[in-house]
Chain A
Amino acid sequence: MGNGELVEYLGTMLRIRYFEEKVFELLSRDLIKGASHVYAGEEAIAVGACAAIREDDYIASTHRGHGHCLAKGGKLPQMMAELCGRETGYCKGRGGSMHIADVKTGNLGATGIVGSNIPVATGAGISVKLRHTDQVVLCFFGDGASNTGVFHESLNMASAWKLPVIYICENNLYGMSGSVKKVSSVQDIAVRGSAYNIPSEIVDGMDILKVKEAVRKAAAGAREGKGPYLIECKTYRFYGHSRSDPRVYRTREEEAEWKEKDPVERFKKKILGEGVMTEDEIKSLEKNISVEVDKATEYALNSPFPSPETLTDDVYVKTVVSRKS
């Protein structure tokens, strides 16, 4: 791993962090309508995981999906425009925060129904097998989704058919307010792999290089036809579930404890310690990214809203109806 790569990872993590901070600000100023589930605190997972795969691989994302989109190659202006409901957004403003997708970069999309992306990722795995490529699919989901029926149906299917899908559980300890301690039969989601004969492991989700290494190994196995893998990343969301969340279900002490493990700060320290970057270089990188986010925001807010006449565009692909059969 070269120093250039480490700098790039830090840049992507910072991009996500600053993007999410800006999103929170725009939400409170009512410039972004609707829901936005921010990824701050979990950056090491998306960035580490996507750093371990190829451009032509796939990911399937969640309602907390901004980080996945950016890490897979999504661009800040089109993302911010999408969140602001503008025509220039990735989904032309039709999807918003919860449905960001950029199929061109292999992002099969975020979903508003917890768990519903898991079979989609599994199906992409079938497609890879049938097309005889050596692509892999990363399926992101949370601890909450691991209690849905489709999680279990999909893992069973992927294992039975040895599909090249890496299931990445972002266990941030809460499904909205539901604590894993109270609602889940197991505390470590990774143990569920054994029910489906899928190898699994627990990874420190606040450490980008550990995530990257786990996904790299799993992906190498999947490319060789060894089938699916389940990686549980222990993590924490620094903000609440959404902007309206008063966070009454967790203590400020617990939040402070996890902030000590801030994946961005931790990685910065490592980079400094190893002499990859100087403090000044990091500061200048931070400043540049902050400007990038501001520019993306400006682009988004200056972009047009979709025209009302386009309401029903793209519900269907045009079917050519010929009355002669």
Chain B
Amino acid sequence: MREIYYRQALNEALGEEMERDERVFLMGEDIAIYGGAYGVTKGLYEKFGEERVRDTAISEAAIAGAAAGAAMTGMRPVAEIMYIDFSTIAADEIINIVAKNRYMFGGKTTVPVVLRTEGGTGRGIAAHHSQSLESWYVHIPGLYVVMPSTPYDAKGLLKSSIRDDNPVMFIEHKMLYGMKGPVPEEDYTVPLGVADVKREGKDVTIIAYSRMALLAVEAANELSGGGIECEVIDLRTLKPLDIDTIMTSVKKTGKAIVVSEACKTGGFAGEVVSQIVELGFDYLDAPVVRVAGADVPIPMSPTLEEVAVPRVVDIVEAVKKTVVSG
């Protein structure tokens, strides 16, 4: 199978969905001639024109609210919020309008908006351009939250998100845009709410998402040499959460570690731990552990940024401890 970059996979998903459905259009900052801050929309302006690839002013709240208005009147907007850090400005529209209008209005409307954004550390761009804010949006009923880790998933999940009638926070990772992976030429989708077992193992379950899923696989490969076989689950979508796949694995291994780049306190990893404990206490042979970001604004300096979020070595150590304590 051919290999393409994560950013290309996303670009193909957008282009193909725009071809397939004329209701799909894009809006956001610097997405037209510039092609998006991370190059995801490159070439789409040339192909589809300025009506369907709309460069906006720096107005995140209006972008999100306008996406809702367009969606309620028959369109399927894909709006880009350049950094998830900037979604704070759009939070009222996302949380109070995009997420809630359907329910508040008695189910008599749909708000099929995809808000593409990206998060995470790795580029030394500090506290306003590196956050992992997914738990904010997972907390809001009415929104789906999708976080792909591979080019294959990025394309398939973006297509599913665009075709779905629910509003989706589609959170990419800035360090993955330049990663290559196999992506079929033909049309396919990856369903929302289905996790991916990236590696099978019997000793311990590692649950991760976004870039951390790749680090978890690296850690698992390293541990395999030492005789510990990890099962690695990439959640792919945080909401809806594929708890069945998680519990099937945890019941098999009896041990679980949840890895997330977000700050540990109040983060999504804690939610996964809670559900595992509620549903599988009797199957557990060791405490369920979170390997998560430090509770700190992301610092710029590389020596600090590196240790602000989990590294492969942190996952490896957590696994070893868990296996010993079990």
Interface string of B308-321 (1 = CB under 8 A from A): 00000000000000
B148 in the interface (beta carbon within 8 A): no
Question: Which of A90, A92, A128, A317 is within 8 Å of B166, CB to CB?
Answer: A317
B21 in the interface (beta carbon within 8 A): no
Stretch in B33-41, B191-199, B269-277, B285-293 touching the partner: B191-199
Contact (Cβ within 8 A) A126 B106: no
Task: Using CB atoms, name the residue of chain B closest to A306.
Answer: B106
B280 in the interface (beta carbon within 8 A): no
Contact (Cβ within 8 A) A116 B104: no
Chain B residues whose C-beta falls within 8 Å of the C-beta of A109 in the assembled complex: 101, 104-105, 109
Chain A residues whose C-beta falls within 8 Å of the C-beta of B156 in the assembled complex: 325
Stretch in A32-40, A296-304, A308-316 touching the partner: A308-316
- In A119-141, which residues have CB < 8 Å from any B CB? 119-131
Q: A317-B166, A319-B166 are in contact. Are A325 and B57 (CB under 8 A)?
A: no
A116 CA to B104 CA, complexed, in Å: 14
A323 in the interface (beta carbon within 8 A): yes
Question: Which of A113, A122, A149, A156 is within 8 Å of B69, CB to CB?
Answer: A122
Interface string of B81-97 (1 = CB under 8 A from A): 00000000000110011
A150 in the interface (beta carbon within 8 A): yes
Interface string of B9-26 (1 = CB under 8 A from A): 000000000000000010
Q: A101-B109, A127-B75 are in contact. Are A122 and B62 (CB under 8 A)?
A: yes
B67 in the interface (beta carbon within 8 A): yes
A235 in the interface (beta carbon within 8 A): no
B188 in the interface (beta carbon within 8 A): yes
Contact (Cβ within 8 A) B66 A123: yes
CB distance from A101 to the nearest CB of B (A): 4
A179 in the interface (beta carbon within 8 A): no
Chain B residues whose C-beta falls within 8 Å of the C-beta of A130 in the assembled complex: 25, 51-52, 70, 75
Question: Which of B25, B72, B188, B194 is within 8 Å of A103, CB to CB?
Answer: B72
Question: Which of B66, B165, B194 is within 8 Å of A119, CB to CB?
Answer: B66
Question: Which of A92, A93, A154, A316 is within 8 Å of B66, CB to CB?
Answer: A154
Chain A residues whose C-beta falls within 8 Å of the C-beta of B191 in the assembled complex: 321-323, 325
Contact (Cβ within 8 A) A123 B57: no
Per CB-CB distance, the 8 closest pairs between chain A and chain B, nearest first, are A119-B65, A123-B69, A314-B107, A123-B66, A91-B106, A92-B106, A153-B62, A153-B59
